[in-house]
Amino acid sequence: QKVCFADFKHPCYKMAYFQDLSSRVGFQEARQACESDGGALLSLESETEQKLIESMLQNLTKPDTGISDGDFWIGLWRNGEGQTSGACPNLYKWSDGSSSQYRNWYTDEPSCGSEACVVMYHQPTANPGLGGPYLYQWNDDRCNMKHNFICKYEPESFPTIAAGKPFDESKPEDPYHIVVTETGIIPNLIYVVIPTIPLLLLILVAFGTCCFQMLHKSKGRTKTSPNQSTLWISKNNKKESIMEI
């Protein structure tokens, strides 16, 4: 689902996470997937935007979601020219044409060589390295490696379903206030109601069966009472007739 800012003036984002490792894709495949969806592979303009993406990934990878390790392609890459370590870091560019010079490399990265495409680390279960946990810093990797990816989109002109409080630029926390534009109350209710339908049907059948049995027993008692009273009367009549004789 696409996630947007509440003011609809900032970019939107989409996290493509594949729990099935075989479904993850290379850099060029990720780039094409974002572009065919109307966006571009993620470019990062500032530390503020980096922190925003980190907060999204933290929400995405909560313990109860079942989502674990898996790096994410971003749109930073370089061609095969300039392999020397001194020139290499300056050769990286954003695939969407952004001129942003913001970088968030992990310690001793980029390593360059045959590694020309960049991922954002997301390995919460890995032991920390020299640069700390392998979380959210950047690493260059071979472009044919298979990873998740993050797409970035132009701001939505209007929300599909607006959710959340209005955006207020005077409040410092509001730049991190995001809303989901492709889901809302009605879809959420559907996801809640549909799984309960079998349970509701089971309860209805049990209730109907119980009512039928109670009604059947009630009719049975009503029918036997007159027979019992008639039998009792007939026996008394026979005894009275014998005594008269």
Q: Please, are residues 100 and 118 in contact by the beta-carbon 8 Å criterion?
A: no
Taking the CA atoms of the chain, what radius of gyration do you get in angstroms? 35
Q: What is the pLDDT of residue 243?
A: 44
- Structural domains in the chain? 2-153 (3.10.100.10)
Return the higher-pLDDT residue of 193 and 1: 1
The C-alpha atoms of residue 87 and residue 83 are separated, in whole angstroms, by 7
The percent of residues in the chain predicted with pLDDT above 70, rounded, is 67
What average pLDDT score do residues 169-185 get?
41
Q: Please, are residues 165 and 6 in contact by the beta-carbon 8 Å criterion?
A: yes
Q: What is the pLDDT of residue 104?
A: 96
Is the pLDDT at 174 greater than 50, yes or no? no
Residue-averaged pLDDT of the chain: 76
Among the ranges 7-16, 59-68, 190-199, which has the highest mean pLDDT value?
Answer: 7-16
**Position 75 confidence tier, pLDDT thresholds 50, 70, 90:** very high
Quick one: which of 137, 138, 135, 109 has its CA closest to 124? Answer: 135
**Reduced to 3 states, what is the DSSP secondary structure of residue 243?**
helix
Return the higher-pLDDT residue of 48 and 231: 48
The C-alpha atoms of residue 173 and residue 50 are separated, in whole angstroms, by 15
What average pLDDT score do residues 25-38 get?
97
Q: Which of 45-49, 81-85, 165-169 has the lowest mean pLDDT?
A: 165-169
* Per-residue exposure over 49-67, b if at least 16 CB sit within 10 Å of its own CB, e if not: bbebbeebbeeebeeeeeb
What average pLDDT score do residues 21-50 get?
96
pLDDT tens profile 132-161: 899 999 999 999 999 999 999 998 755 444
Q: What is the pLDDT of residue 222?
A: 52
The C-alpha atoms of residue 113 and residue 115 are separated, in whole angstroms, by 5
The answer to whether the Cα torsion of 149, 150, 152, 157 is positive or negative is positive
Q: What is the pLDDT of residue 224?
A: 47
Is the pLDDT at 64 greater than 50, yes or no? yes
